[in-house]
Amino acid sequence: MLGKILGSLIAVYVLGSAIWLAAGGIVREKAPTELMNVACDPSRELWRDVNEKFIADYEAQTGIKLTIKMSHGGSASQARSVIDGLEADIVTLGLWSDTSAVSKRGLIDDDWVERLPHRSLPYYSTIVFVVRKGNPKNIRAWADIVQPGVEVITPNPKTSGNGKLSFLAAWGAELRRTKSEPAALAFVKEMYKHVKVMDSGARGATTTFAQRGIGHVHLTWENEAFLEVQEAGGALEIVYPSLSIRAEPPVAVVDVNARRKGTKPAADAYMKFLYTDKAQDIVAKHHYRPSDPKAFARNRQYFPGLPNENLFPITEIAPDWDTANERFFAEGGVFDQIMSRPK
Amino acid sequence: MADAIEKETQTPAPFRRSREDHWLVRGGLTLATLAIIGLLIVVPVVNVFSQAFSKGLATYWHSLTGDADTRHAILLTVTVAPVAVALNLVFGVAAAWCIARFQFRGRTLLITLIDLPFSVSPVVAGLVFVLLFGAQGYFGPWLREHGYQVIFATPALVLATAFVTFPFVARELIPVLEAIGPDEELAARSLGASGWQMFWKITLPNIKWGVLYGVILCNARAMGEFGAIYVVSGRITGQTDTVPLRVEKLFQDYNTPASFALASLLTLLALVTLFVKVGIERHARPRPAKKE
């Protein structure tokens, strides 16, 4: 008797769960008040802050209370998910070419770059070094990371924006020093011989370096570096090289999804909000460099090293981000060649 | 102790008795085993709990219940796992019966296919579902037009979990069914029982412990599944994050206490499963009766 009751309870529970889960797949005509922001890995804290402010602001202006869902992961894999049908209203990926890959699949209108100020870049950033306290390996410049015995941590360029930027920063720095591409290639090749662990996303690499204690230098986003050092409570410190790349993580509304879901007005407002003084200050507080020069000047204290003129643009390496991605990271590209011929 | 040795002497011959070996060999092997188990299993498990409770019981409880996204992850795991297990229960019993009772062409192939999820990496399993049901996949666009989404929604979680845990029930039942043999079932049929009557009255009672054992193993694996879920879920916080994904996310958010609190919950579920499993094992695999 007891067994029967228990059996039927379990059956009802499983059946109920099954119905609930299956219903989770039905595309409902939701009230257009739910946005999904598919973002790259190291921007979690930034969006948590921005979302809170934007939701309050938007409610005050329109009376509509939004909810914003977040998804974080390696930039390229996030782009892939959106292409595969993840219902993003907004993509805030780490790398230009990832956003443009989504656009090329027809999900973002072609004119996306020009729709928002500063070429759809509410902020930009760069790649810096994080080292252990006291900088025991005395790492000051790019040349120091390929010294014998130095172990480098940076994520996989195939899946991560941080990974790609580390590669391009190293390449560009050496290119500017030597004015020679073969020298840049040799330098980057040497650098990857020093990479001990290649995580799939920026945050994974941070965990490897800071929490698992592997490696001597961590090449990462400026904002991620500050967070990492702050969390480590004195065990790590930031080193600014004298030169690094101008990293450009664009934002874009995924027009096709937003139009279908009816969230386009809210998504557009969300993106415009990023350029307000309030949002630009939040961005700076998280150590992303605000695009508005006035906001940057106002928040100068968050960026103690690498003045903007020492950030070289992608155009110094390749005509644009897409070409760079194609040349360096596509199947059989420069990165694959480096990795396939270990010497 | 004496009792244990007493039992040991009653084990049938093929095993050499441990006392025949030199004490150094015995001691060394025992120590090595204990060290490995201690280092690889006991220390990490204890560490999970000590980290989880490091900030006190109140923080622990708050980490588990205070965050809506974490609550949702728990809800998702305790629904996805049973549904995946239920699916595998039905398919597993059917497949095992089919394989154990009939000789047919492609039988070996079928057994191999059932084992496939064991050898395929979960990440690959996840990618397969993305290829099938993704927006660029074979069925994805059609389903989408008809208002249904599999990938990046809850159905994908069930599918992926069911896929990676598929072999457990079937694998457990095939030997049990083969050991029991078809005699009782044939007798039932010859006495006029219908197929269903035979299944419910003869087959199922005979294999019920095996079924339960398979279900428990399957469930343990289903709750902990990470790789396949990571790929098919889209990692949407508060929507498709299961407990293992949530643990990783909290850990990477520098929220170590909450991450370990949730991890300890998962470990606790695993430990409970383990104890239930030990209880059932005795029934599932009856050993030759021992003299009292």
Per-position DSSP letters for A138-166, written without gaps between them: ---SGGGGGSTT--EE---TTT-HHHHHH
Which residues on chain A are in Cβ contact (under 8 Å) with B219? none
Residues of B in contact with A105 (CB under 8 A): 136
- Mean pLDDT to the nearest integer, A205-234: 92
Closest to B236 (Cβ–Cβ): which among A71, A206, A231? A71
3-state secondary structure of B182: coil
pLDDT of amino acid B292? 38
* Interchain CB contact of A33 with B (< 8 Å): no
Q: Please, what is the angle between helix B68-101 and helix B243-252, to 10°?
A: 140
Q: Residue B135: pLDDT band by 50, 70, 90 thresholds?
A: confident
Contact A24 B155 (CB under 8 A): yes
Q: Do domains A34-123+248-302 and A127-245+313-340 have the same CATH topology?
A: yes
User: Is pLDDT at A225 greater than 90 in this prediction?
Assistant: yes
A215 touches chain B (CB under 8 A): no
CA distance B162 to chain A (A): 12
Of B130, B157, B237, the CB nearest to A84: B130
Nearest to B75 by CA among B236, B242, B247, B234: B242
- The reported pLDDT for the residue numbered B165 is 93
Mean per-residue pLDDT for B181-194? 90
- Give how far the C-alpha of residue A188 lies from the chain's centroid of Cα atoms, to the nearest Å: 21
Q: If contacts are CB pairs under 8 Å, which of residues 225-244 in chain A contact chain B?
A: 227, 231
The answer for residues whose C-beta is within 8 angstroms of residue B26's C-beta and 6 or more apart is B18
Q: What pLDDT score does B18 carry? A: 58
Q: What percent of chain B stands above pLDDT 70?
A: 90
Average pLDDT over residues B25-32: 90
Q: Do B237 and A204 touch (CB under 8 A)?
A: no
Pick the CATH number of A34-123+248-302 from 3.40.190.10, 2.60.40.1220, 3.20.20.70, 3.30.1280.10: 3.40.190.10
What pairing do the DSSP bridges indicate for beta strands A90-92 and A127-132? unpaired
A-chain CB neighbours of B148 within 8 Å are 25-27
Chain B CB within 8 Å of residue A20 CB: yes
Q: Which two tokens stand for residue A47?
A: 């969006």
Architecture field, domain A127-245+313-340: 3-Layer(aba) Sandwich (3.40)
Q: Is residue A35 within 8 Å of residue A67, measured between CB atoms?
A: yes
pLDDT at B282: 75
Interaxial angle between packed helices B167-180 and B204-224, expressed in degrees from 0 to 180 and rounded to the nearest 10: 160
The verdict on a CB contact (< 8 Å) between A81 and B152 is yes
User: How many CB atoms lie under 10 A from the CB of residue B109?
Assistant: 9
A18 — contact with chain B (CB < 8 Å)? yes
Note whether A27 contacts B149, CB cutoff 8 Å: yes
Which range has the top average pLDDT, A25-34, A265-274, B133-142, B215-224? A265-274
pLDDT average, residue stretch B80-107 = 92
> Quick check: B289 pLDDT over 60?
no
Name the nearest CA neighbour of A126 among A247, A288, A301: A247
- Answer whether B239 sits within 8 Å of A69, measured CB to CB: yes
Sign of CA dihedral A130, A236, A144, A189: negative
Q: Report residue A75's pLDDT band, with 50, 70 and 90 as the boundaries.
A: confident
CB B233 within 8 A of CB B151: no
Q: What is the mean pLDDT of residues B160-176?
A: 92
Res B15: pLDDT? 60
Q: How far is CA B52 from CA B57, B142, B223, in A?
A: 9, 46, 19
In chain A, where the domains are located: 34-123+248-302, 127-245+313-340
Binned at pLDDT 50, 70 and 90, residue A188 comes out as very high
> Across the strands, what pairs with A34?
A67
Residue A75 to residues A100, A196, A268, B1: CA-CA distances in angstroms? 12, 21, 22, 59
* Least confident window among A1-5, A41-45, A165-169, A299-303: A1-5
**What residues 90-119 of chain A have any CB closer than 8 A to a CB of chain B?**
105
Q: Cβ distance A68 to A266 under 8 Å? A: no
pLDDT at position B251: 86
Within an 8 Å CB–CB cutoff, is residue A193 touching chain B? Answer: no
- Whether A260 contacts chain B with CB within 8 A: no
Query: Does residue A303 surpass a pLDDT of 60?
Result: yes
Adjacent-strand bridge partners of A26: B148
- pLDDT level of residue B13 (50, 70, 90 thresholds): low
Chain B residues whose C-beta sits inside 8 Å of any chain A C-beta: 79-80, 82-83, 86, 130, 133-137, 140, 144, 147-158, 234-239, 249, 251-254
Of the candidates A32, A15, A13, A35, the residue with the CA atom closest to the CA atom of residue A23: A15
B23 or B94: which leads in pLDDT = B94
**B290: pLDDT confidence band, cut at 50, 70 and 90?**
very low
Residue B5 predicted with pLDDT over 70 = no
- Which residues of chain B does A19 touch, with a Cβ-Cβ cutoff of 8 Å? none
Contacts of B147 in chain A (CB under 8 A): 26-27
Cross-chain Cβ contact A21/B237 below 8 Å: no
Mean pLDDT within B214-229: 91
